[in-house]
Structure 1
Amino acid sequence: MSSQDIPEENLPAEQDTEHGAVAVADEENPFADPGLPPHEHRIQDIDARAAKRSERTVALLFTVSMLATLGFIASYVTIPNDRSIYVFPIGHISAMNFALGLTLGVALFTIGAGAVHWARTLMSDVEVADERHPIEAAPEVKAKVLADFQAGAKESQLGRRSLIRNTMFGALAMVPLSGLFLLRDLGTLPGTKLRHTLWSQGKLLVNMNTNQPMRPSDIAVGSLTFAKPEGLEETNEDFQKQIAKAALMLVRLQPENIKDKRELSWSHEGIVAYSKICTHVGCPISLYEQQTHHVLCPCHQSTFDLSDGGRVIFGPAGHALPQLHIGVNADGYLEALGDFEEPVGPAFWERG
């Protein structure tokens, strides 16, 4: 039977949709347009009390953001920058950094959470399909876009929900205050703080692992040992701040393998002491090549020759590792004979 024999009312209708697709597939149009699923109303669309609850929730999130911003400012002003706290399982960290990160994170998160909750529960969720158009839209399309924007602005209920509007504007206005307070320290120079560590004349070298003073016999040829100044304990409130400058590594070389004359005179029986802090960006150095006497920074592969004044032989580091002048006291323990003669760590400041 041909299509001409079928009653016209029984033929499937090829209904052209707004986008040029067809409702029923055929050979010329193998993909039918299923259209949009029926819209399902949310509880907030039909229950005014539920909508009010959502509004209060969004306002609460924006209010928490404002309180967190005030907490950020209060933390920055009141917490000393040398105070540390113990946070499990991280360990001792700066109390100010912890408070600033926590309050700023809460301020930003609650703004985002409030905006998402507002959009999901109160703004219109009706799906609107629109045909793609050339980059230069026709006048009628421009008029439609403008009308859609105005309708969307009306459906957002920004004018109607004054509680949400006011708290949102308050939260957005207060968040930049955090940055204004941070600008206060941009012009403050460190003075001589970066040029001094806890090392001084007579300070014993204490093994970082055993927490005991070291004798020359404790360091074998070819070994790498980490040390800290006498009296610096992990329980100290400023431990992280001080160890970041005073961390020391000791290597025992054969005296005849030491090329630099000053390095030889500053060592004891071939034991040389250098700063453990890489001079690139301050990472702790921990990799030692026994045969070449090279130490490698694991962060960016800066390599230093401990047999030749700690000079840089590879990588982005800008200058040699600072050496600590060491000797032995009357009791036979290794001791410092002074502080480093130059700042340890990255060359972020003028070294002239």
Structure 2
Amino acid sequence: MTHQDNSPEERLPEAGKPGKPPKLADPFADPGLPPHQPRRQDIDERAAKRSEHVVARLFATAVIAAFGFIASYVLIPKEKVVFIFPVGHVSAQNFALGGTLGIALLCIGVGAIHWARTLMSDVEHVSERHPIEAPPQVRQQVFADFQQGAADSAIGRRKVLRNALLGALTIVPLSAIVLFRDLGPLPEKKLFHTVWSSGKRLINMSDDRPLRPEDILVGSLTFAQPEGVHESDADFQVVMAKAALMIVRLIPTEIKDKQSADWGHQGILAYSKICTHVGCPISLYEQQTHHVLCPCHQSTFDLADGGRVIFGPAGHPLPQLRIAVDSQGYLAAQGDFDKPVGPGFWERSA
């Protein structure tokens, strides 16, 4: 009777015996670099010249497109509409701006890629891993490689390419300058002045009638707008954002600031309704204290003391409008506000 040992060790195939899977190759082995193959431009100067001319023409096209962008912005009216298939009706200026700027950027990108693929060096360089802090010899090698790359790019020898690239990179950014100009209208002196001027009557916003001194009662708060401004005007909100006026009548002996009294008429004072913190309209009036309160952030101003800030985040007093009575007995402005209206801004000196 033959004895069989059924231990696990004997059931497993042994190395080199049938049934043993063969050893697999290292899946992470370094494949190495294929032999370098020179390009046609590397051995044929005429081919290199042709590539140079292609790149130069692309950069020149970018310059022309940039000038087209600027011309489109200046010459094409904003309201002009054209039909573009298959998009439909679009703004002619937007279409021209997008097309010319896209062509300029595309030509610079394609030109740079063609330059790199056909004229710059394409020899692969192997750099072994090294510590994060480079030793001095590596730093020297980096600078040497950079100088060699600059030499391989032929930017010093191929003057046509260099000048074309410099021209494209100089002209195309002008497109961004033109776009910055279109971020909004130039403020010029608009932040310093409103539509109020000498002789303009104060119009009651409640009934759209000119105000007389007898219309303003002691302790009341009246809102007014300049003569000639109407709610139906297209720019009404823009104008009133700076010209809105509130009028109070105080007992003359209660006015603390002499200039405020001189700029009023028989205790009638006219102040800007626009808070000097963030420009909210002021509408809350305390009759006994002569204080007005901004409902947005609780800035409080004393109308009996030149619109001085007595509480809250506002940084400037309320501008006052100098008023008088005209020949027909109506309240009229004697000029513009004494200070810029609304929140402070960086150009403002006081």
Task: Please identify the structure whose Cα radius of gyration is greater.
Answer: 2
